[in-house]
Amino acid sequence: MSSPEQWTHPEPREGPAATAAAPTAEQVIAGLRATSEGGPELVQLLTPEGERLENPEFDRYVADVTAEDLRSLYRDMVLVRRADREANALQRQGQLGIWVPLLGQEAAQIGSGRALRDTDMVFPSYREHGVAWCRGISPKEILGIFRGTDHGSWDSNAKRFHPYTIVIGNQVLNAAGYAMGQRFEGKVGDGDSEATMVFFGDGATSQGDVHEGFVWAAVYDAPLVFFCQNNQWAISEPTERQSRLPLYHRARGYGFPGIRVDGNDVLATLAVSRWALDECRHGNGPVLIEAFTYRMDAHTTTDDPTRYRHSDELEAWKLKDPIERVRVHLVRHEHADQDFFDSVQADADELAADLREFCFNMPHPPVNQMFDHVYAEASPFVDAQRDEFLAYQANFAGGEH
Amino acid sequence: MAAPVLNKKPGATTATQSLTLGKALNQGLRAAMEADPKVIVMGEDVGKLGGVFRITDGLQKDFGEHRVLDTPLSESGIIGAAVGLAVRGFRPVCEIQFDGFIFPGFDQIVSQVAKLHARTLGRVKVPLVIRVPFGGGIGAVEHHSESPESYFAHTAGLKVVSCSNAVDAYWMIQQAIQCDDPVLFFEPKRFYHSGFMKTEVDTTATPDPLFASRVVRAGSTATVVAYGPSVKVALDAATAAEEEGRSLEVIDLRSLSPLDLGPVFESVRRTGRLVVVSEAPSEASLTSEIAARVQQECFYSLEAPVLRVTGFDTPYPPAKLEEEFLPDLDRVLDAVDRSLAW
């Protein structure tokens, strides 16, 4: 089976020039694209079968993780998946305009999210509902984006979780600047220091802003963890349309470490994120993490993945489910009993019911909302437009239509 | 040469310095950096070199490399990183080296800088200034003489200003830095170091508000509105017109977004005639916006249609043709003639 490493030649001046990866017809038919395996350098602590692998480099970053912590990680993943499925259903029922599912990426997001401290800053893309959860942001505060009532209602300063960024890659430069500020303020240098983590996908790695973000963070030694969730698909385009190289290899060209972690392994993403954040706190940033995962659902509810990918691929990834492997591990080691799983399920159902109820009752935004916050210091022109429109609307008040 | 006086001394009533427009910007930046440690300057070559136009001359030496950043050659990076720094609590002043180089940063300006405050219903402020040396007349190669201000005036969430003289340069840059909104700051680069622009700047005076236009020459025959480098063209035209017995009122817009057109409406109601001057191409531009609003507000006062004297709707030409491209005294007077003959 071909691997991304084959797309380039290991030694210069040997053999023909490299070509972009093109899977063979057999591989396509088998649903086995070049990227469906993480390769030998994948950091994995928990196999899909729930087996704990020893890792001399990263074990110490999760040495303090107790059975209770594992149950808590499991619970978080189950809850965010349940909220995600509920929101997906709400879109199907016409309650949301669109939904961006995170299905399959729970471990990547909960592992990295739980590695963060309150004093750290996060710059998400738009699929990071799981990371938001770890920052204490309720799924309710995200719903407005997709129902069309606001652009996200959480306090990004208080939660240290920047607003969702929809233009692909923009947030990577914003995060680089923020992390530069942490350094300029002397908040970098020891284990108690601050760091920033920025989230983006495999598709974003083709954006200029991401490359510029790599350059800026590198030359200013910014305490920034680039957390790339490679979920294999940028809507319909596979990762091999974005890169000849495995994405984590790119870091080397910018002069900082890059690492590939099993993005479906919550323990490994926690360990690798803790390591990367620790490096940044000590002034050894930035670091690139490629979380090798899979978008189990569509890009958004408007997307139809059956047009561009084989169901075999999805089936292969189902065997690597991020939640199931923790459940198996907990059961096998008798770290959790049926009561625990039942209680998590009950909590998840309650969260979903609460979210549904909240969604149905979200108020229509007031018209002045779109005018009132264009500027911090009011613009007479916008104010006049608002007043004129409100007066126009008032003409109809009490009228029969 | 007298040592620059930066702060009003106790008991002193005035503290004036004779400054070129470029030096006034430099002194204004310095005053802003002294007043607020969160003000940082960032851009290509702004540190050791002092910027290709020397507007940031000496700032890195006095404020250090963490407050005056020589950045990578990356305009999207300059703006994008400045957004993050602003979110962190800094007040970044970005220098875009030349007008025509702002476009790699356009996405960050339009998608993030302009929208973050509205997106967060006011929870996140983006108090950054983007300085842009703009306009032609310096005999430069392509992309070095453009007037892109209308793109930004068109974009909700941005404020756009342009200074035309040393006094405004000194004060407006400080006011822009103090503003909690993002401000695009357009500087008439061809006058940076012009000796005839050298003015006594009273650094203890109370400046006019930033987002206000100003009548810079009173008159009664016709109104001429301009901003940035075109203000001098308009004033020169007014001087020439006076010899022919025509009294032109000249208004310096200063603020391009929001536009402060009250003084323009007042003037047009008296003169009945308006000529708008700008180096930017005319189509879907600030000058068309002004024409639209004046016809709306002064419809019954107008004796002639609003006429515009602008750069042509072509890419900025090779330097040997810029004299023809740029509005000059004769084209302004010709427009005044046509307005009066209507």
pLDDT on residue B4: 43
The catalytic site residues of A sit at: 295, 299, 308
Q: Is B90 on the interface with A (CB under 8 A)?
A: yes
pLDDT on residue B140: 97
In the predicted model, is pLDDT for residue A32 greater than 90? Answer: no
Burial class (CB in 10 A: 0-12, 13-18, 19+), A229: buried
Place of tokens 């087996």: A51
pLDDT on residue B326: 98
- CA–CA distance from A364 to each of A142, A144, A368, B155 (Å)? 16, 10, 12, 26
pLDDT on residue A269: 98
Report CB contact under 8 Å: B88, A176: no
Place of tokens 């989230």: A199
Report CB contact under 8 Å: A178, B84: yes
pLDDT on residue B3: 42
Cβ neighbours around A159 below 10 Å, total: 16
Together in a domain, A104 and A125? yes
**pLDDT single digits (tens) B318-342:** 999 999 999 999 999 999 999 999 9
**pLDDT single digits (tens) B257-296:** 999 999 999 999 999 999 999 999 999 999 999 999 999 9
Place of tokens 């399920």: A345
pLDDT on residue A80: 98
The strand pairing partners of B311, in sequence order, are: B281
Q: Are A166 and A126 in contact (CB under 8 A)?
A: yes
Q: Is B218 on the interface with A (CB under 8 A)?
A: no
Together in a domain, A297 and A400? no
Smallest CA–CA distance from B82 into chain A, residue: A177
CA atoms within 13 A on the CB side of B96: 32
Tell whether omega for the bond before A12 is within 30 degrees of 0, i.e. cis.
no
Q: In the structure, what pLDDT confidence band is assigned to residue A244 with cuts at 50, 70 and 90?
A: confident
Percentage with pLDDT > 70 across chain A: 90
DSSP string, B250-296: EEE--EEETB--HHHHHHHHHH--EEEEEEEESTTSHHHHHHHHHHH
pLDDT on residue A400: 54
Report CB contact under 8 Å: B112, A167: yes
Together in a domain, A353 and A222? yes
Percentage with pLDDT > 90 across chain B: 96
Q: Let me know if residue A16 belongs to a domain.
A: no
Report CB contact under 8 Å: A374, B157: yes
Min mean pLDDT across A244-248, B66-70, B191-195 is at: A244-248
Q: In the structure, what pLDDT confidence band is assigned to residue A33 with cuts at 50, 70 and 90?
A: low
Interface mutation target, options A126, A141, A164, A173, chain B, most CBs of B under 10 Å: A173
Closest CA to B93 of B81, B106, B101: B81
Q: Is B73 on the interface with A (CB under 8 A)?
A: no
Write out the residue range of the structural domain in which residue A392 sits.
Answer: 372-401
Percentage with pLDDT > 90 across chain A: 85
Q: Which chain A residues are closer than 8 Å to B157 by Cβ?
A: 374-375
Q: In the structure, what pLDDT confidence band is assigned to residue B5 with cuts at 50, 70 and 90?
A: very low
Q: In the structure, what pLDDT confidence band is assigned to residue A398 with cuts at 50, 70 and 90?
A: confident
> For the domain B214-341, what is the CATH code?
3.40.50.920
Average pLDDT over residues A6-27: 57
CA–CA min distance B118, chain A (Å): 5
Domain residue spans in chain B? 17-202, 214-341
Together in a domain, A377 and A336? no
Closest CA to A357 of A82, A95, A94: A95
**pLDDT single digits (tens) A221-238:** 999 999 999 999 999 999
Together in a domain, A85 and A216? yes
Together in a domain, A265 and A389? no
Interface mutation target, options B75, B121, B265, chain A, most CBs of A under 10 Å: B121
Q: What ipTM describes this predicted complex?
A: 0.94
Together in a domain, A243 and A207? yes
Together in a domain, A160 and A110? yes
Together in a domain, A397 and A321? no
pLDDT on residue A35: 54
Q: In the structure, what pLDDT confidence band is assigned to residue A245 with cuts at 50, 70 and 90?
A: confident
Taking CB atoms within 8 Å and a gap of at least 24, the contacts of B321-324 are B322/B136, B322/B137, B322/B139, B322/B145
Q: Are domains B17-202 and B214-341 of this chain identical in fold?
A: yes
Together in a domain, A253 and A377? no
Going by the DSSP 8-state scheme, the letter that residue A257 receives in this structure is -
Q: In the structure, what pLDDT confidence band is assigned to residue B134 with cuts at 50, 70 and 90?
A: very high
Give the count of domains, chain A.
Answer: 2
**pLDDT single digits (tens) A253-266:** 999 999 999 999 99
In the predicted model, is pLDDT for residue A299 greater than 90? Answer: yes
Q: Let me know if residue A122 belongs to a domain.
A: yes
Q: Let me know if residue A21 belongs to a domain.
A: no
Which of A156, A167, A176 faces B107 most closely, judged by CB atoms?
A: A167
Together in a domain, A101 and A171? yes
Report CB contact under 8 Å: B119, A176: no
Together in a domain, A199 and A348? yes
pLDDT on residue A240: 85
**pLDDT single digits (tens) A40-96:** 899 999 999 999 999 999 999 999 999 999 999 999 999 999 999 999 999 999 999
Q: Of B66, B144, B154, B193, which residue is the catalytic one?
A: B144
Task: Assign residue A181 the CATH number of its domain.
Answer: 3.40.50.970
Interface mutation target, options B85, B113, B179, B297, chain A, most CBs of A under 10 Å: B85
CA atoms within 13 A on the CB side of A5: 8
Q: In the structure, what pLDDT confidence band is assigned to residue A36 with cuts at 50, 70 and 90?
A: low
In the predicted model, is pLDDT for residue A190 greater than 60? Answer: yes
Beta carbon pairs, A and B, within 8 Å: 134
Give me the CATH topology for the region B17-202: Rossmann fold (3.40.50)
pLDDT on residue A15: 56
**pLDDT single digits (tens) B9-53:** 455 556 899 999 999 999 999 999 999 999 999 999 999 999 999
Nearest 5°: CA angle at A359, between A356 and A361?
A: 115
pLDDT on residue A40: 84
Q: In the structure, what pLDDT confidence band is assigned to residue A29 with cuts at 50, 70 and 90?
A: low
pLDDT on residue A39: 82
Q: Let me know if residue A282 belongs to a domain.
A: yes
